Amino acid sequence: MVAIITGDIIASRKLVNQEKWLNPLKKLFSTWGESPKDWKLDRGDFFQVEITDSQEALLKAMEIKALIKKVAPLDERKKSSTIDVRMAIGIGEKNYTGESISESNGSAFINSGEKFDLLKKENSTMGIKSPWKSFDEEMNLYLKLAGIFMDKWSVSSAELVQIVLNNPDITQEEIGKQLGIKQSGVSRRWNRANMNEILELEKMYRNKIKSLLQ
Protein backbone atom coordinates (compact mmCIF):
# COMPACT_ATOMS: atom_id res chain seq x y z
CA MET A 1 0.00 0.00 0.00
CA VAL A 2 1.26 3.42 -0.99
CA ALA A 3 -0.22 6.90 -0.65
CA ILE A 4 -0.55 9.45 -3.42
CA ILE A 5 -1.08 13.10 -2.52
CA THR A 6 -2.76 15.11 -5.27
CA GLY A 7 -2.97 18.83 -4.67
CA ASP A 8 -3.12 22.35 -5.98
CA ILE A 9 -2.23 25.76 -4.61
CA ILE A 10 -5.26 27.93 -3.88
CA ALA A 11 -5.04 31.56 -5.10
CA SER A 12 -1.48 31.07 -6.40
CA ARG A 13 -2.10 33.49 -9.28
CA LYS A 14 -2.54 36.33 -6.83
CA LEU A 15 1.21 36.14 -6.24
CA VAL A 16 3.38 37.82 -8.85
CA ASN A 17 6.43 35.92 -7.60
CA GLN A 18 5.53 32.21 -7.82
CA GLU A 19 9.03 31.27 -6.60
CA LYS A 20 7.94 32.18 -3.05
CA TRP A 21 6.10 28.88 -2.74
CA LEU A 22 7.43 26.94 -5.73
CA ASN A 23 11.09 26.72 -4.68
CA PRO A 24 10.43 25.68 -1.05
CA LEU A 25 7.89 23.07 -2.23
CA LYS A 26 10.31 21.62 -4.79
CA LYS A 27 13.01 21.53 -2.12
CA LEU A 28 10.69 19.66 0.28
CA PHE A 29 9.62 17.15 -2.38
CA SER A 30 13.22 16.51 -3.41
CA THR A 31 13.95 15.28 0.13
CA TRP A 32 11.19 12.66 -0.36
CA GLY A 33 12.13 11.38 -3.81
CA GLU A 34 13.08 12.16 -7.39
CA SER A 35 11.18 14.13 -10.01
CA PRO A 36 9.30 13.18 -12.15
CA LYS A 37 9.21 9.53 -10.96
CA ASP A 38 8.19 10.21 -7.33
CA TRP A 39 6.74 13.72 -7.59
CA LYS A 40 5.75 16.24 -10.21
CA LEU A 41 4.59 19.85 -10.35
CA ASP A 42 2.31 20.48 -13.30
CA ARG A 43 0.31 23.28 -14.90
CA GLY A 44 1.88 25.83 -12.59
CA ASP A 45 0.14 25.00 -9.33
CA PHE A 46 -0.92 21.33 -9.55
CA PHE A 47 1.19 18.59 -7.97
CA GLN A 48 1.36 14.87 -7.28
CA VAL A 49 3.69 13.13 -4.86
CA GLU A 50 4.06 9.47 -3.88
CA ILE A 51 4.54 8.54 -0.22
CA THR A 52 5.80 4.96 -0.17
CA ASP A 53 4.84 4.45 3.50
CA SER A 54 1.12 5.21 3.74
CA GLN A 55 1.46 5.65 7.53
CA GLU A 56 3.51 8.80 6.80
CA ALA A 57 0.98 10.34 4.41
CA LEU A 58 -0.90 12.63 6.79
CA LEU A 59 2.34 13.90 8.34
CA LYS A 60 3.64 14.73 4.85
CA ALA A 61 0.38 16.46 3.90
CA MET A 62 0.57 18.56 7.08
CA GLU A 63 4.18 19.46 6.24
CA ILE A 64 3.04 20.70 2.82
CA LYS A 65 0.20 22.67 4.46
CA ALA A 66 2.57 24.36 6.94
CA LEU A 67 5.09 25.19 4.18
CA ILE A 68 2.43 26.89 2.04
CA LYS A 69 0.81 28.72 4.98
CA LYS A 70 4.28 30.05 5.88
CA VAL A 71 4.46 32.13 2.67
CA ALA A 72 4.22 35.82 3.59
CA PRO A 73 0.89 37.50 2.65
CA LEU A 74 0.65 40.20 -0.02
CA ASP A 75 -1.01 42.53 2.48
CA GLU A 76 1.54 43.11 5.25
CA ARG A 77 -1.26 43.99 7.68
CA LYS A 78 -2.58 40.41 7.47
CA LYS A 79 -1.19 37.54 9.53
CA SER A 80 -2.21 34.65 7.26
CA SER A 81 -0.80 33.79 3.85
CA THR A 82 -2.54 34.89 0.65
CA ILE A 83 -2.33 31.31 -0.63
CA ASP A 84 -3.43 27.92 0.68
CA VAL A 85 -3.30 24.31 -0.50
CA ARG A 86 -5.98 21.72 -1.33
CA MET A 87 -4.88 18.07 -1.01
CA ALA A 88 -6.33 14.59 -1.40
CA ILE A 89 -4.56 11.56 0.06
CA GLY A 90 -5.27 8.37 -1.89
CA ILE A 91 -4.30 5.07 -0.27
CA GLY A 92 -4.12 1.85 -2.24
CA GLU A 93 -2.02 -0.24 -4.58
CA LYS A 94 0.50 0.87 -7.19
CA ASN A 95 0.28 -1.53 -10.11
CA TYR A 96 2.49 0.20 -12.63
CA THR A 97 5.51 2.50 -12.25
CA GLY A 98 6.08 4.86 -15.16
CA GLU A 99 9.02 7.15 -15.86
CA SER A 100 6.82 9.95 -14.52
CA ILE A 101 4.38 9.77 -11.60
CA SER A 102 1.68 10.95 -14.02
CA GLU A 103 2.19 7.72 -16.02
CA SER A 104 2.06 5.40 -12.99
CA ASN A 105 -1.25 3.85 -11.97
CA GLY A 106 -3.13 1.74 -9.44
CA SER A 107 -5.93 2.15 -6.91
CA ALA A 108 -3.90 4.70 -4.86
CA PHE A 109 -3.83 7.04 -7.90
CA ILE A 110 -7.53 6.51 -8.64
CA ASN A 111 -8.51 7.14 -4.99
CA SER A 112 -6.40 10.30 -4.81
CA GLY A 113 -7.81 11.71 -8.07
CA GLU A 114 -11.42 10.92 -7.18
CA LYS A 115 -11.13 12.49 -3.72
CA PHE A 116 -9.35 15.55 -5.13
CA ASP A 117 -12.22 16.15 -7.56
CA LEU A 118 -14.67 16.11 -4.63
CA LEU A 119 -12.81 18.47 -2.28
CA LYS A 120 -14.13 21.72 -3.78
CA LYS A 121 -17.70 20.41 -3.66
CA GLU A 122 -17.21 19.31 -0.05
CA ASN A 123 -15.77 22.74 0.83
CA SER A 124 -12.72 21.04 2.34
CA THR A 125 -8.98 21.55 1.81
CA MET A 126 -7.83 18.07 2.86
CA GLY A 127 -9.37 14.63 2.44
CA ILE A 128 -8.63 10.91 2.24
CA LYS A 129 -9.86 8.01 0.14
CA SER A 130 -8.74 4.47 0.92
CA PRO A 131 -10.00 0.88 0.51
CA TRP A 132 -11.73 1.19 3.93
CA LYS A 133 -15.01 3.12 3.83
CA SER A 134 -15.54 3.48 7.62
CA PHE A 135 -11.95 4.72 8.03
CA ASP A 136 -12.54 7.32 5.29
CA GLU A 137 -15.77 8.56 6.87
CA GLU A 138 -14.14 9.00 10.27
CA MET A 139 -10.88 10.56 9.04
CA ASN A 140 -12.58 12.93 6.62
CA LEU A 141 -14.77 14.26 9.43
CA TYR A 142 -11.67 14.85 11.60
CA LEU A 143 -9.82 16.50 8.71
CA LYS A 144 -12.76 18.78 7.94
CA LEU A 145 -12.88 19.85 11.61
CA ALA A 146 -9.08 20.29 11.76
CA GLY A 147 -9.31 22.36 8.58
CA ILE A 148 -11.28 24.98 10.52
CA PHE A 149 -8.06 25.98 12.28
CA MET A 150 -5.41 24.70 9.82
CA ASP A 151 -6.83 26.90 7.05
CA LYS A 152 -6.46 29.90 9.39
CA TRP A 153 -2.87 29.25 10.48
CA SER A 154 -0.94 32.51 10.59
CA VAL A 155 2.57 32.66 9.11
CA SER A 156 4.03 32.43 12.63
CA SER A 157 1.81 29.44 13.52
CA ALA A 158 2.84 27.67 10.30
CA GLU A 159 6.52 28.25 11.14
CA LEU A 160 6.05 26.55 14.50
CA VAL A 161 4.03 23.66 13.01
CA GLN A 162 6.76 23.03 10.42
CA ILE A 163 9.46 22.89 13.09
CA VAL A 164 7.47 20.50 15.32
CA LEU A 165 6.48 18.14 12.48
CA ASN A 166 10.13 17.89 11.42
CA ASN A 167 11.34 17.41 15.02
CA PRO A 168 8.64 15.56 17.02
CA ASP A 169 10.75 15.38 20.19
CA ILE A 170 11.77 19.06 20.20
CA THR A 171 11.16 21.03 23.42
CA GLN A 172 9.45 24.42 23.56
CA GLU A 173 12.73 25.87 24.78
CA GLU A 174 14.53 24.58 21.68
CA ILE A 175 11.74 25.93 19.45
CA GLY A 176 12.16 29.31 21.12
CA LYS A 177 15.88 29.32 20.29
CA GLN A 178 15.13 28.52 16.63
CA LEU A 179 12.49 31.24 16.35
CA GLY A 180 14.31 33.75 18.53
CA ILE A 181 11.41 34.11 20.97
CA LYS A 182 10.82 33.32 24.67
CA GLN A 183 9.26 30.04 25.80
CA SER A 184 6.09 31.91 26.82
CA GLY A 185 5.83 33.14 23.20
CA VAL A 186 6.29 29.57 21.94
CA SER A 187 3.53 28.39 24.29
CA ARG A 188 1.10 31.02 22.91
CA ARG A 189 1.93 30.10 19.31
CA TRP A 190 1.59 26.39 20.17
CA ASN A 191 -1.94 26.95 21.47
CA ARG A 192 -2.94 29.23 18.57
CA ALA A 193 -1.76 26.60 16.07
CA ASN A 194 -3.74 23.88 17.93
CA MET A 195 -0.51 21.88 17.96
CA ASN A 196 -1.71 19.30 20.50
CA GLU A 197 -4.75 18.48 18.35
CA ILE A 198 -2.59 18.27 15.20
CA LEU A 199 -0.22 15.79 16.85
CA GLU A 200 -3.13 13.74 18.24
CA LEU A 201 -4.79 13.59 14.81
CA GLU A 202 -1.56 12.53 13.11
CA LYS A 203 -0.93 9.84 15.73
CA MET A 204 -4.48 8.50 15.45
CA TYR A 205 -4.25 8.33 11.65
CA ARG A 206 -0.92 6.49 11.89
CA ASN A 207 -2.26 3.96 14.41
CA LYS A 208 -5.44 3.30 12.42
CA ILE A 209 -3.54 2.72 9.17
CA LYS A 210 -1.07 0.45 10.98
CA SER A 211 -3.88 -1.72 12.39
CA LEU A 212 -5.71 -1.86 9.03
CA LEU A 213 -2.55 -3.04 7.26
CA GLN A 214 -1.88 -5.85 9.73
**Mean pLDDT, the chain, whole residue set:** 96
Per-residue model confidence as pLDDT tens digits over 171-195:
999 999 999 999 999 999 999 999 9
The answer to whether the CB of 124 falls within 8 A of the CB of 142 is: no
pTM score: 0.97
Per-residue model confidence as pLDDT tens digits over 6-43:
999 999 999 989 999 999 999 999 999 999 999 999 87
Give CA–CA dist 102/109, Å, rounded. 9
* Residue 29 bridge partners (DSSP): none
For β-strands 126-129 and 84-92, DSSP reports them as parallel
> In this predicted structure, what is the pLDDT of residue 76?
85
The share of the chain scoring above pLDDT 70, in percent, equals 100
Task: Output 3 or 120, whichever has higher pLDDT.
Answer: 3
> In this predicted structure, what is the pLDDT of residue 103?
96
| Residue 202: closest CA among 87, 57, 29 | 57
Beta carbons within 10 angstroms of residue 140's beta carbon: 18
Give CA–CA dist 81/67, Å, rounded. 10
Q: Output the CA angle 106-109-112, nearest 5 degrees.
A: 145
| Residue 52: closest CA among 102, 120, 101, 14 | 101
Give CA–CA dist 126/88, Å, rounded. 6
The answer to whether the CB of 88 falls within 8 A of the CB of 3 is: no
The share of the chain scoring above pLDDT 90, in percent, equals 94
**Buried b / exposed e across 87-107, counting CB within 10 Å, b at 16+?**
bbbbbbebeeeeeebeebebb
